[in-house]
A and B are shown apart, each in its own frame.
Chain A
Amino acid sequence: MEEKSVRRGFLLSKGWLQAVVIVMLLGFTVLGILAYKTYEDGAPVPVKVFDPQGQLLFDGDDVSAGQQVFLHNGLMEYGSVFGHGAYLGPDYTADYLRRSSNIAIAGNGGPPVDQDGMEIDGSDSRPDPAGDVARQKTIDQFRDNQYDEDSGELTLSQTQADAFRKLIPYYTRYFSVDDTEHGLRPEAITDPQDLRNLTAFFAWTAWAAAADRPGKNYSYTNNWPSEPRVDNKPTANALVWSAISLIALLGGIGLLFGAFGRYRDLGWHGREQTVVSFRDPSTVSLTPGQKSTAWFFFVMAVLFLIQCFVGAAVQHYRAELTSFFGFDLAVILPYNLLRTWHVQLSIFWVATSFVAAGIFLAPMIARREPKGQGKLGYFLLIALAVVVFGTLIGSYLGIHGVLEDAATNWFGLQGFEYLDLARLWQVLLVVGLVLWAYMLFRVMRSRLRSEHPGNMPWLFFLAACAIPAFYAVGLLAQTYEQFSVTEFWRFWVVHLWVEDFLEIFTTVMVAYMFVLLGVVRERVALMVILLDIGLYSVGGVVGTMHHLYFSGTPSEHMALGAFFSAIEVVPLTFLTVEAWSFLQLGANQESKSETEFPHRWAVMFLVAVGFWNFLGAGVFGFLVNLPIVSYYEIGTALTANHAHAAMMGVYGMLAIGLSLFCLRYMIPSKKWPDKWAKVSFWGTNIGLAWMCFATLLPLGIMQLYKSVNDGYFEARQFDFLTDKTANMLEWLRLPGDLVFIIFGAIPVLYICFLGVKYTIARRGEGDGEGEADAELFTVISGTSMEDEPPDMPARPEPTPGT
């Protein structure tokens, strides 16, 4: 590309950029304040905990050690605390609270309990005045907060202290049983000290769940979980902010559609397309960097398929806990190991596709590729493979107890759900992503120099940089830190990735693809991108707090989280209905063209992304978003429903769509397996929709019903899953899962295999370093689009398609 001495100015009016910068700054300022409040006002871990006689029950180090036992043994991938984690096992906060309050009631003269802290059946049917007194006493004991902020010491009531002592043997039996009845490995935890600390950790979360915050009439967790035995019920805040956020959503949607109804075109009224004829993709010569992406996509497809198989095994535990078609799977692959593999693979394969697509697009944008990009590409791929397989093996060793303590933390698993990987791999992954951003930079360097930082090349580069930057925030979560704090940083990654920066990177990438194809003008694309960044960030940044309603964080987190995350749904609705149609429009071929549009199935996958963004993220996300709903449903199948529909529906479909887009250039047109692309499109979409609607959604509704009616503890019991209706639902998803794997994942693997095959076959072809192919995707006849000379210089006569 000709080096321009003058920088190209910003294509839009400055107001666009200012608005976006202000939104970001405000959002992160608020998030910064909330970070401070989390450290200040998060549920405190007492330095020492005493019984009324002044005997030490446990201390702060025990709680921290117990938290590490919990995390490093992969228990957050089995059950949960504060509602966060996996859903097969119980929520240990609710579990400890139920058992300890039962023991306390018995201790106060109420109905007796068994050695597990459960009521003996049939003990409470008739009116029972003694029991009522005992229950009221228990409520008072649990809610009374005897934590001394100055000394950091906490004194529990006698009954709470007794409960703690009685529950150590219970959890000891539970975790050390030499059997796979819980879906954990036999003798999962046997060290008495570990078991004691683990119980102390559960005891601390349960204390925080019931003890009133100083000066408030609700607990540190905003009264979560619902538990009549300690008078835990939704707070007024939860109700008020649910109502306000509902109004915010409806108002926001109304406003935006109103505004767009009035200014229908925001300045881009339907301009007639130039005549476009698409180059036959196989005549586009590829750079070494671009060719390396064939391998990335192949690895992506392999990981995707493995994730599916692991997912099938995870599901099998829910349908039939103790036998895997007659085989005791949990001895080798316990539930929590499979669950952590499943979750981590989903992140890995999607990230692999994003990374590859970035490497593929950069030279198209820059129109050059410096020497060595291909080698760097292969190096990055190997590094990625090391991280992925290191993580998988580490999780295995960690959960099987081969590694211990610090070794688990660094090489086994840290155990935070979604950030499970050991610290070594986490650091390496950050390094790998930084290397990736550098690879994009070296390709685009001169292009960036000639552009205003608000224009598309910069936005592409900055959006890419945000991915490692926000992944690195996860390093702030340390397994020994107070749990509210680790949850706070964990969700910076989990939430800000998927609900802000990945959405942004997606829009930039997709918009750029269409600009490069010559079907959307750069100005229009830029507007859509900036609108998108603004709209997503208004709600998405502060909206992070919708994960921290009940994690021991102050009620501000709940109020702001509920309000702003409700606004997140506005762009999802709006962009689906409005702006995604610009992408559909992008491929529109009403102007006559003699070459076929080459990206039929890539575009259809983008259509699917739009659909799932609306349904999976928008509708199913909002379904669990109101504090009052979240209060009852957190950690149930309704969350799984949202998580699958949003994660696979949006980012999974996108990852596949991007791979098809790029592979179309690597596989010769005559060999392009259009039929398999079609099969995978229908297979993944129908399979996913079936999974959600046949099982996860109805099961979630049933579980929510159970939780409101009978209690959260009951809804999370394993009995619930084995209830005959629930069990029927678990089996009903089987056809969908089969469709998803056989017609979805396997064809994707085949197509990616072809990509590798033909890239090898065409090795050496057009490997001239330096200048990339001057003619890229498209040939545009007619006047070139006036506002984007650097991208689309007028072309010579088109090469007719094959």
Chain B
Amino acid sequence: MNTEVLLAGGYGVLLLAGAMVLEWLSRHTHNRSQAWRTSGFDYDAQHDFWVCHKGEQLWPAEFDREKRLVRYRAKAAVCNACPAKGDCTDSNHGREITRAVDSWPHSEAGRFHRAIAVMLVLLAACELGVVLIRNHDPVEIAVLLPLLWVSVVALWWLARDLVRTPDGFPEAMPAHGNRIGRNKQT
């Protein structure tokens, strides 16, 4: 077995690992930025509500199908009387918080990271393929072929997922009259 095969095998593994790390980091950033937006609020997963830092609860008010997010709202009367309102919201209908399934641009950033991961795996497959054509004793085949197989499976799996995930870019919503205005639409 020559060094090219060893290098290619090692590098192929590195690329696959890189794709995995990227997938993980991407998910992690996504969660972090989600947490950023809701920081100061604690989520109770069991009962599906949020508690703000003043102890008020926000309950689900609406599921927005189009944007794939849940809106939670606190009681308007409580918020309007709250001393921290200025730092919290300017809506007079109670503080709202959303939990998005995946909102833009996170959705599209996620696709970007996924696409890079797809590229890494594709590259691993190409590189292993080229090296396999150049070197193919039985031992070399035994090293390269399984790796090639793993890359192709990973490629198929990631690419399929990429194609299926929508970019989530919000379409403009045609104004229907009352939406323009000083207050949030409820």
Contact = CB atoms under 8 A, between A and B. Distances in A.
Interface of A: 264-265, 269-272, 274-275, 277, 576-578, 581-582, 584-585, 587-597, 600, 603-604, 607-608, 611, 682, 685-686, 689-690, 693-694, 698, 701-702, 724-725, 728, 732, 781-783, 786, 797-798, 800-801
B28 A595 contact: no
A496 B174 CA distance: 48
Contacts of A732: 126-127, 130
Contacts of B116: 611, 685-686, 689
Interface in B59-118: 67, 69, 86-91, 95-98, 100, 103-106, 108-109, 112-113, 115-116
A698 B6 CA distance: 12
A725 B105 contact: no
A582 to B, nearest CB: 7
A585 B91 CA distance: 19
B119 A690 contact: yes
A10 B152 CA distance: 57
Contacts of A694: 123, 126-127
A593 B120 CA distance: 37
Given A269-B40, A269-B53, A725-B3, 7 more contacts: A578-B36, A592-B179, A592-B185, A693-B119, A693-B120, A725-B7, A728-B134
A71 B105 CA distance: 47
B119 A594 contact: no
B66 to A, nearest CB: 10
Nearest to A265: B39
15 contacts: A264-B40, A269-B39, A269-B40, A270-B37, A270-B97, A272-B90, A272-B91, A584-B33, A590-B100, A604-B108, A604-B109, A682-B115, A693-B120, A701-B7, A728-B130
A590 B119 contact: no
A415 to B, nearest CB: 36
Nearest to A599: B105
Contacts of B156: none
A603 B91 contact: no
A702 B127 CA distance: 15
Contacts of A592: 173, 179, 184-185
Q: Chain B interface: which size bin?
A: 35 or more
Which of A265, A275, A724 is the most central at the interface, judged by chain B CB atoms within 10 Å of its CB? A275
Given A581-B29, A582-B36, A590-B98, A782 B183 contact: yes
Contact of B106 (A584, A797, A801): A584
Closest 9 A/B residue pairs (Cβ): A581-B33, A269-B40, A596-B172, A272-B89, A594-B175, A783-B90, A265-B39, A607-B109, A725-B4
B181 interface: yes
B44 interface: no
Interface of B: 3-4, 7, 11, 15, 18, 28-29, 32-33, 35-41, 53, 67, 69, 86-91, 95-98, 100, 103-106, 108-109, 112-113, 115-116, 119-120, 123, 126-127, 130, 134, 169-175, 179-185
A608 B95 CA distance: 33
Given A690-B123, A781-B181, A264 B173 contact: no
A270 B38 contact: yes
Contacts of A682: 115
B27 to A, nearest CB: 12
B36 A585 contact: yes
Contact of A693 (B15, B90, B100, B173): B15
Contacts of A270: 36-41, 97
Nearest to A268: B39
Contact of B33 (A272, A585, A593, A686): A585
A577 B119 contact: no
A277 B113 CA distance: 29
Which of B88, B174, B175, B183 is the most central at the interface, judged by chain A CB atoms within 10 Å of its CB? B175
Contact of A603 (B105, B120, B180): B105
A782 B91 contact: yes
Contacts of A577: 28-29, 32
Contacts of B100: 590
